[in-house]
Structure 1
């Protein structure tokens, strides 16, 4: 249906999920993530400046930037125009899938049930966001869904912390793991880019272990 997510992310397996309040934060945040070894990032469409944040971070040059919390075709289009290389949604919305297919960008819809996964696969999408991963049961839920759908690939996101990475990455169906702990609202409010860099580096090392 669209380009494959793995072809866009390359060997990047840590996906920082970012809710960035102002575009002024975007450049130093991109610097901190890249310095920590991140090669991709998801900018959520939860703030008024999200489009501008995508533009600034996409222009950084060292990060493959995607748009997250995309709920409509219009948001998907604006995200791609701003430089997003992939689109992530918290749920399975047909108009988002169709728009991403039209734009020829990878789309990662959120799923929480076997029925939703079957719908995604039927629509030609084989990489999905298991969301919210930890509240759904974490790696136990991942294994339960992966067993009857060996063609499916997963990007678990939601409630995951650094200590849980090895459990997710031990499953061959996991393409990448998304998380907010590397750059929280508190980090951004304080301008604590050194801590963002440290947490990102820790996560990148954990993804390779």
Structure 2
């Protein structure tokens, strides 16, 4: 599979991948700027809101220095819609065989979601080595991920779901973990108050913490 931007680049470009749920389109640019100001340059905009595709389009046009992707992609129609909007990578919470086969032939990388060793093996069978472990905490957390991925060292993982500053250390130094996804740098209180300074500060702290944990 040859993709315009590889999953390796997506995973290595930013210490953390923010899970962005954008309800107000006017928030897209200031949210993106705050994340960039804090050192985060990979954006996962989830397709959970009516304005998500428009937000992807705006972020991709406004911030060419960022890698803008779409999350919560469930099928091939959503894959195409996200790519048309400007998404440079696609993340799914799980996968279907149809979606795996479809993305194999496309230019925009799919990062499938997995929760079990069997799902990791299936993804590998189709050539997908960079995966999202989701929902991480609900599936047993870092201890479970370590056990699942131990016999599958060829996978590279971005765990997402329930990760915060309180448990980040458990994940970040696992051999198969390259980056983590989360929304703790985008707390509801800051978004409701449009406190982009707080978002930038939390993003900066997240990047510093990851750097320190990896030493």
In the other structure, the counterpart of 1:145 is 148
Evaluate the alpha carbon distance shift between residue 117 and residue 85 of structure 1 in structure 2; reply closer, same or farther with a 3 A threshold: same
- 1:32 Cα deviation (Å)? 0.4
Q: Secondary structure at the match of 2:147?
A: helix
* Equivalence map 1:118-133=2 (5 Å): 118-133=121-136
CA contact under 8 A between 1:128 and 1:152: conserved in structure 2?
Answer: yes
Q: Secondary structure at the match of 1:163?
A: coil
* Equivalence map 1:2-151=2 (5 Å): 2-3=2-3, 4-59=6-61, 60-151=63-154
CA distance in 1, matches of 2:14, 2:109: 15
Select 1:155's aligned residue among 136, 151, 158: 158
CA distance in 2, matches of 1:64, 1:113: 28
Q: Secondary structure at the match of 2:185?
A: coil
CA distance in 2, matches of 1:96, 1:19: 23
**Larger deviation: 68-77 or 57-66?**
57-66
TM-score by length of 1: 0.94
- 1:96 Cα deviation (Å)? 2.4
CA distance in 1, matches of 2:9, 2:36: 19
For structure 1, the 5+ residue unaligned runs are: none
- 1:162 Cα deviation (Å)? 1.5
CA contact under 8 A between 2:117 and 2:149: conserved in structure 1?
Answer: no
Aligned length: 209
Deviation per CA, 1:117-141: give whole Å up to 9, x if none.
1111111101111111011121101
For structure 2, the 5+ residue unaligned runs are: none
CA distance in 1, matches of 2:149, 2:112: 16
Select 1:201's aligned residue among 201, 204, 213: 204
- 1:90 Cα deviation (Å)? 0.5
CA distance in 1, matches of 2:10, 2:118: 27
